[in-house]
Every structure is written in structure tokens, then in C-alpha cells.
Amino acid sequence: MSKSVTLNPSLKTLLPAFKERCAQIQRRLDTLNGGMVTGELVRELRTVQLEPLKSPNKAELSEELNLLATVSVILDLVTQGWRIISTDPTVVLEFHEGASAEAEKERIRRAHMIERDSQFREASVMAFIKGMENRRLTANGWHSIFSLMRDGEDLARKLGEILELDNPETKADLLSRLIRPYVQVVETDAVCEHTGLKLNDIWRYFRYTWVNSYRSVPGRSMMILVRDASVPNHPVIGIASLASSVVQQATRDKWIGWDTDTVVERFRSVERPKKTAQWLVSELDTFIKGVYLKDLLRDGIITRAEIRKPSEEVVAKLLKDSDRAIRHHRLYPNAAKHKSQNGTTRAEWMERAETSLFRSKRAKQLATMLSIRELFLKVNLDPQMPAEDWRKLFESGRFRQAVAQIVRMVRGERVGINMMDIAVCGAIAPYNLLLGGKLVCLLLCSPEVIKDYRARYDQQTSLIASCMRGASVKRAANLVLLCTTSLYGSALSQYSRVKVPTALLGGKPGEKVEFNCLGLSEGFGSFHFSKDSLRMMGMLLGRSKEARKVNSIFGEGVNPLMRKIREGLALLGLPADVLLKHGSKRVVYGVALAGNFQEFLLGMSDWPRYLIPQTREKHRTELLADYWRQRWLLKRIEKPGVLEEVARHTCVYPIRHGAQVELPQNGEEQLDLWAPINS
């Protein structure tokens, strides 16, 4: 399948220069004769084609940044597999998806590796990696990151000895002694008690062995090490991280029941609507009460009576006030006030609530909620109404929309608190050869992780909700769902068939914790835009008087990076909707930690019913490890050639270990066959 796009960049004086640079890129790519684009070639093209103009006149100087940013985006697309097929009369790009799943996987993998190897060439990253590999004197002796890599030769020899035994019980007992996994949550400035290295640095080093580049993520996050207590220094088996879930993900939302069609059909079909109708009214009242009103009442935008019995006129007045406030915010964002960590007193929250940004958000949200209240009053929504009358309400598009809006509000409240995305998950060598990735997956479902998440975030002040209410808002951090996506468009073997009967863990018979394959994502994202492009688009946004500035202020909207890219592309005259669709659809997975996760995330259940008992957390982790050893490890070591592969990983000089970061050499990116392929 192929797609093409015609580019009409916002260039006048420098349009011929843009076409010429594209033509030069096209001619250079033609010399490959169908070969793969390499990191060395991308660096060469960036060096040549992003060269500033020589002695530009005034008109050229005014467009120079636009030219360089546009060419940089073109090179980003070339890295992803796009080709320039025409430069006259217009520049046309074309993209062909791989002829097979393997070809498409290789295209995505190579594009990620080019970006990753570019990151490795940053002086700070190179210094960090080399520093971790150098031995240093600690309180526990001389150590480096190699102290935390298990010797594969010794492990393979001991596994081979176990494999030769006939007694299954003896095998299981010896395996449980040979590999003893445990979970270690990375805390700020915490130090490994065995090596003296910072846990954060240990995690970061092993993250650099992944195929894709390492980027920090905003919002809540937890970094996790899975370590092996069976040998000195407790080497690292694998790493994982949890990050704030994306607000909208169509495939996931349909599974949860947050999408409009699913929730409308679910509510419409209930036989006894009393509980559902009460829930709708209760949630609506809660959201209205969560809005700070003092300034809106003071300025005559609304009255108490109009809140109780709203009209179309008051809704229109609120929307007008919201529009006025957001225009004022864009002119005078006052970023320092929004980014400050104050807000410990009621007066400070009220002050922040009355900023133009949150005045706009409050007025808009109140307008939405009062519009729904007006509708509910108009249709006489009564919890006691017969089921037939209830179903008739859903014949109205406006009523269906009102129900969907309430659910979206619930989603916005729960998505950042009660669920997390698995941003990183996988094993390092030599454990990756023993299906250690499946072990890391299982341990993310451990009550230990849920407990640590609660300890870190329970009753944490919600910034946006507090600014909306003008008072501190704290919510219980009950983690009930984990979601993730594959790095490629095909199912990821690491998550396939990962499930465990909860009866083995002390839970109810007949239930299981399982990584469910939910479907494919839409393939939108920002990973394919380079740092060069992002930097230049940021400069353009800063200069522009026309663009709606994105100030990265918490509360302006979700994903400020995506909004910056979208507005930057618009300034360049490039089609954002086409270019943000990177073409890499990914498989979406979800793992429920609570049996009632859907009801809980809809706000229809007050407490999660966890599938794994939330007591004796370390014991449950050991039971999960036992299950992994019996279900996967024992079968894996019986496979011919596996132990030989494990034995190849050694820290004896000269070091040849797959857990070592393999840096690019001789100007070329290396296809790192040792590195785990993880999301």
C-alpha cells in the first residue's frame, strides 16, 4: 500500500531553494539503488542540506528558518521510508509500506535505530555510558555496570546440570534457587546496596540497550528493576517503567467502555435504569460542584439560580467568557505562575483558579455541564422512570451526546490516576534468551507494584482539579489497569499468552490475570520527528504572531509536544494530519488488575476488586516467579541451542555481553543483534 502527499510550504522567495535542496536529496537517495537509508547517510544529508544560506538578503533571511525547518522535516520523513518522487512543479513525497510484515518491522526498527544512534552521539549520553562502564571504588569495593550483568557461561552450565535431572520436584527446587527474581522500584537518589551505583543510573544504562531512543515522559512515572537474588550483586534481569496513560486511545477506550457507542448501548439496554440514571445525575452534580464559581458570580456571568435551573442564554454567556479568557491567556500566558509548585493554601489555589487559563477552562466546562443539566430537566430524567421511557431518551442525539460527555469527564478524571501505560518492559541478556521478558510482564501485575504506586501517588494533590475548584483536590491512587503497545505493527511475542490463573496466587478460581490483545492503534505520534526539527519548529512558534502559542503549561491541554508539532507544521505550510500519521500501527494490549476495572473506571464502583489478593505482596511476587519458571523457563532451556546462546554472554575480558550498550562505530549505526526488541 502506498500514499503520497504534495507539499506547499509557506515559502516565497526561497521556494526555488527548497525545491533544489529536495532535488539534491532525491539524487543522493537514487544512488542507493534501492538500498537502506543509514544513519551515516542521514547525518550527511543533514550536514549538507541544513547548511544556512550564504550572504542572504533581507527577504531570504526572513524565510531562512522556515526553509531549514521544512527541509529537516523532509529528512525526518526520508528516515521513516518516505521518498521524494517529484520536485517540479511541486515537491511530492511517497510512502510505501513494507511488502511483508517482516519488511515493515525492519523498516521501523532501522528508523528507530537511526534516531537512537543519533542520541548516542550526544556528548552527555556518551559520557554517561562510558562512566557507567568504568570501574569505581564504592563502599562495597570496585564496581561498574558490568557488576550487574549475570555471567551467561556460569548460568548456562548450571541450567544444563538441572536439565539432566529426572525428578521434576528437584528440578523446580533447583530452578527456584538458581534464578530468584524480585521487584525493586527506583526511588530518586536511591543507591544499589550491592554496588553503590544509583538505581536511576542503572535503569537508564540498560534502557539504552533498547532499539528506540530514550526520552523522558511527562506526568506520573515509575521505573522498576527486576533483579536476581541468587548470585552476588543481584544482577538485573530486566527493566520496566510505568507512565501516565494517554488520555485518548480508541482501541483501549472501546474495551474499557469509554467510547460513545459502547457506553450509549450499555446504558440504553439496562432493564432497570434507576442506578444508571442516578449515576448520571450524581456525576453531573459532582462535576458542577467541582468548579470554582466566586469570580463568575462576582462578575455577573452567572447566578446561583441559573446554576440550579440553567438556560441556553447562560450557556452562551459562559462560552463567550471562556473564549475571552483564553484569548487573554494566549497574549499573556504568565507561565511562571502556572509552573510554580505553590498552591498549598486555599488562597493560592483560588488565585490560580482565577488566572485566564483556568477561568476559560472553568467557564467552558460549566457551560457544558449546565447544558446537560438543562437537558435532563427538560426531558424530566427520573430514576424511577419505566425502562421503555428510558430507552426512548436514547433516540435523541443530544441525550446520547450528553451521556458521552459525562463519560468523557469521568475518563479525564480516572485516566491519570487509576491506570498507567507500560512504557518500557523487557529483559536484558542473558535472561532475555530465557523468556525473561514474560517474567517482567507478570511481575508488573504484582501487588508490590500496586502498593508502591499507591505509596507514591495516593492522596497526591491533583493540579488541574485543584485549579478548577480553587481548593486542594486529592484522589486515591488505586491502580486497576495497565495498557501498552507493541513497537511494531505485529503482535509482540513477549506479551503473547502471558496469563496466570489467579487461583495459583490465592485469588478466586476461574479468574486470571492476562495481557489481552485489543487491536491496532491508529498510528499517530511524534517519535519520527528529530530534535533538529522540534528545535526549529519551537523557534518558529516563538517568533510567530499568528500561531496559538503552546507554553507547555499544565492545564493548556493534553500532549503539548503534539500540539507544538501540529502548529509548527501548520506554520511551515505542511499537512499535519498526514505527517503526524507515522504509518506504524501498533498492537494495543491491556491487562486488568481488578475484576471490576470497567465499572471502577466508569465511576460506577467505589472500590476495586483486585484479582490478586493485596496481602503478603512479596509472597505473591514469588508465586508469579514460580509460575514463570514452570510455565516458560523449564520449557525454554529444553530447546536446542538456547543454553549455547546464553553462554555467549560473558563479562570476562574481552567483554562480550548483550546487556552492554553497543555504541555506533566507524560512523555507521550498528544493527545490534544483542539488544532486546521492546516497546
> What is the per-residue pLDDT across 426-456, written as a single tens digit (0 to 9) for each?
999 999 999 999 999 999 999 999 999 999 9
**Mean pLDDT value across residues 386-398:** 93
Beta bridge partners of 141: 138
DSSP state of 307: H
Whether omega before 218 lies within 30 degrees of 0, making that bond cis, reads no
What is d(CA 429, CA 120) in angstroms, rounded to the nearest whole number?
20
Are 440 and 679 within 8 A, CB to CB? no
How do residues 200-253 score in pLDDT, each as one tens digit? Answer: 999 999 999 998 888 777 789 999 999 999 999 999 999 999 999 988 888 999
Q: Encode 322-336 in three state secondary structure.
A: HHHHHHHHHHCCCHH
* pLDDT for res 431: 97
Amino acid at 368: T
What are 447's three cell numbers? 501487588
- 359: buried, middle or exposed (CB in 10 Å: 19+, 13-18, 0-12)? buried
Quick check: 510 and 631 in contact, CB under 8 A?
no
What is the rounded CA–CA span in Å between residue 144 and residue 133? Answer: 5
Which residues does 560 contact at the CB level (< 8 Å), separation at least 6? Answer: 550, 551, 552, 553
| Cα separation, 145 vs 136, whole angstroms | 10
Whether the Cβ atoms of residue 445 and residue 614 lie closer than 8 Å to each other: no
Amino acid found at 184? Q
Burial class (CB in 10 A: 0-12, 13-18, 19+), 542: exposed
Gyration radius of the chain over CA positions: 28
Q: Provide the 3-class DSSP secondary structure of residue 634.
A: helix
Q: What is the DSSP letter of 581?
A: B
Cell of 671: 544493527
Residue 533 corresponds to which amino acid? S
> How far is it, in rounded angstroms, from Cα 206 to Cα 209?
5
DSSP 9-35: -S-STTHHHHHHHHHHHHHHHHTTTTP
Name residue 564's amino acid.
K
Over residues 25-82, the pLDDT tens digits come to 999 988 887 677 888 888 899 999 999 999 899 999 999 999 999 999 999 888 888 8
State the average pLDDT over residues 329-352. 73
From the list 440, 525, 431, the residue with the least C-alpha distance to 487 is 525
pTM passes above 0.75: yes
pLDDT of residue 522: 66
Sign of torsion over alpha carbons 138, 141, 142, 146: negative
In sequence order, the β-bridge partners of residue 422 are 242
> At a CB cut-off of 8 Å and minimum separation 6, what does 256 contact?
481, 590, 597, 598, 601, 602
CB 584 within 8 A of CB 526: no
- Residue 92: phi and psi, rounded to 5, are -125, 130
- For the chain, the domains span 2-96+524-579, 119-246+418-522+586-647, 250-414
Q: Measure CA 233 to chain center.
A: 32
- Residue 631 DSSP code: I
Q: What are phi and psi of 26, to 5 degrees?
A: -60, -45
Average pLDDT, the chain: 88
How far apart CA 377 and CA 372 sit, in angstroms, is 9
Q: Are 646 and 433 in contact (CB under 8 A)?
A: yes
- CA 437, CA 240: separation in Å to the nearest integer? 10
Q: Mean pLDDT check: name the lowest of 164-168, 289-293, 304-308, 668-672.
A: 668-672
Residue 147 is given by DSSP the state G
What's the mean pLDDT in 276-282?
A: 94
